[in-house]
Amino acid sequence: MLLARPWFADGAILKRSREVASVLTRHGLGSLVEQSGLGRFAPLGASRRDRPAPLKPAERLRSAFGELGVTFIKLGQTLSTRADLLPADVIEELSKLQDAAPRVPLEMIRQVILEDLGEYPEELFERFDPEPIASASIGQVHGARRHDGREVVIKVRRPDVEQQVEADLGILTGIADWAQVNTAFGRDYALRPIVDEFAYTIRNELDYRREGENADRLRRAFAEDRRVWIPLIHWDLSTHRVLTMERVTGVKISDLETLDELGIRRRTIAENAVAVFMHQLLDLGYFHADPHPGNYFAQTDGSIAIVDFGMVGRVTESLRMRLLRAGLAALHEDSEALAEELYALGVAGRRADRPAFQRDLDHLIGRYGGTSLRELSATAVTRELTGIAFRHRLQLPSDLALLFRVGAMSEGVGLMLDPDFHFLEFASPFFRQRWKEHNSLSAASQRFGRSALEAAELAAELPRRSSRLLARLERGEIELNVNHEGLGAFSAQLQQMANRLALAVILAASVVTLGLALGFGDFPGRATYASWMFWPGLIFSLLFGAGLLMSIWRAKR
């Protein structure tokens, strides 16, 4: 059973489910269709077997996700950060998914702008470029010039993309619930929270106002920082489907040849890009979560301009401090302390075999212990750590998995610009400074003051809360639920033992009854009747006893 009300009851979801099952089956992913509960929607007569070479399963999965459109492209990109959940070959293929899509006809773009802004773009702008700058799965980007001469770009959401995303999210939610009950993978991992987090993220990306707010927040944070430029949002020409922002100039940092021709120092760009990321991570608590080279533009003075703020990660103060402590434990080669910090981060749950997990951390530290920061790769260490999580069937919190991905991408940007750039060596002073500030006397006094204030508030509220608690206890409104881990399996074992004992008693009683029947009474033909009862009874008892002994031997109890 899936749910009380099946997730495919909605007509749009039912139609889309058939399309998804058809695409996956056509790409030779029949086993995935069956394991996801979509088998009932697969085309009749379609092969449920995975397609053999030349394409590998991971390549077929990437191809299918690309064909299925925006939701599955974004899902693939999200899953490419989860090396704790998926094998390395799948991660590598999903990371190749490009968020590109066919162009939206100009008339449809004009219609969306008319509906949201009240006028056609030719009336709103002095110049509107009919040829798009880029066309992605969610929206299309056009250049324009305002009547005051300012150059802008306009992102327009694709018509009807929201309806498709909502149908796809309904399917993914149903798959997660079905897998949680019917598959070992679903029982090992909390799939529903992953789907819920993904749904929250993609819905934010659909609402361009959220992207504008993210850009404004970062722009304010870096207002005095000359290393970075965040484009200005034109809110008078922006809605949830249309976003107008300042046009970014410069050279894409992936265009190394042009950078060299213009005399822009690549090392400076690499340092600025990583410094900006470290400031977001350690000081702001939120960060631009899509730092691929296409979103970074170099300026002639070595500063960088950043675009595309649809995805932003957040890091709490507690998470930052635990990451710092985990880093210190690794530097001190203390696997026990490192394991404890990872437990506190939520990496290892109740399924973790802690001694085995700590042994793997010991091996990890032994492999990299003593290596200088100049020679150490953040990407390699992250890959090793997520590999350990995958082997132990552990699940990283989504914000931590995203942070690992962004850190690896930032290191990749630095190496692309300068092969001699060493990410950890450059970033370590930022971590040391943050740790020093956290443990300074002023910071400690502030934490103590907050704790004292919270304790005082709790002391003032304690009598009232205690009174309410006692009143609820007297009224019997509080129930205590106790969940015994493994109690079901233990009860089943007790039931089997009781069944075998009962069978043994029945067998003994039948043998005794058989013996009594042989010597009962003295009448004509007794020997014939005794023979007729004895031999079938004896054969039955022997077979019955042999079966009981065999079941005990198989159970090894």
Tens-place pLDDT, residues 64-84: 998 888 899 888 888 887 776
**pLDDT at res. 2:** 41
User: Which residue in this structure is represented by tokens 């066919």?
Assistant: 102
| pLDDT digit string, tens, across residues 306-329 | 998 988 888 888 888 888 888 777
pLDDT digits (tens, 9 = 90+) for 385-430: 777 777 777 777 777 888 888 888 888 888 899 998 888 888 888 8
**Cis bond before residue 54 (omega within 30° of 0):** yes
The whole-number pLDDT of residue 548 equals 65
- Helix pair 57-68, 70-79: axis angle to 10 deg: 140
The candidate with the shortest Cα–Cα distance to 164, out of 20, 6, 9, is: 20
340-349 LR contacts (CB < 8 Å, sep 24+): 345/319, 345/397, 345/400, 346/396, 346/397, 346/400, 347/389, 347/394, 347/395, 347/396, 347/397, 347/400, 348/392, 348/394, 349/394, 349/395
Q: Give residue 535's pLDDT.
A: 67
* Beta strands 304-306; 296-298: pairing state: antiparallel
Please count the other Cβ atoms lying within 10 Å of the Cβ belonging to residue 86. 19
Instruction: Quote the pLDDT of residue 532.
Output: 61
Q: Beta-carbon neighbour count of residue 152 at 10 Å? A: 19
Q: How confident is the model at residue 129 (pLDDT cuts 50, 70, 90)?
A: very high
Per-residue burial over 317-332, b = 16 or more CB atoms within 10 Å of its CB, e = otherwise: eebbbbbbbbbbbbee
DSSP letter at 51 equals P
Average of per-residue pLDDT values in the chain: 80
What pLDDT, on the 0 to 100 scale, is given for residue 432? 82
Sign of CA dihedral 161, 289, 57, 200: negative
Per-residue pLDDT at 235 exceeds 80: yes
* 3-state secondary structure at position 296: strand
Pick the more confident residue, 111 or 318.
111
Q: Quick one: pLDDT band at residue 220, thresholds 50, 70, 90?
A: very high
Q: What pLDDT shows up at residue 306?
A: 93
| Torsion angle in degrees (nearest 10) through CA of 168, 172, 173, 177 | 150
Kindly report, residue by residue over 420-462, the tens digit of the pLDDT: 888 888 888 888 888 787 777 776 677 667 767 766 776 777 7
pLDDT tens figures, 10-59:
567 788 888 888 888 888 888 888 888 887 777 765 555 555 556 788 88
Length of the chain counted residue by residue: 557
- Please give the model's pTM, rounded to 2 decimal places: 0.71
Residue 522, pLDDT > 90, answer no
Given this model, what pLDDT does residue 7 score?
46
Listed in order, strand segments (DSSP E) in 303-451 are 304-306, 312-314
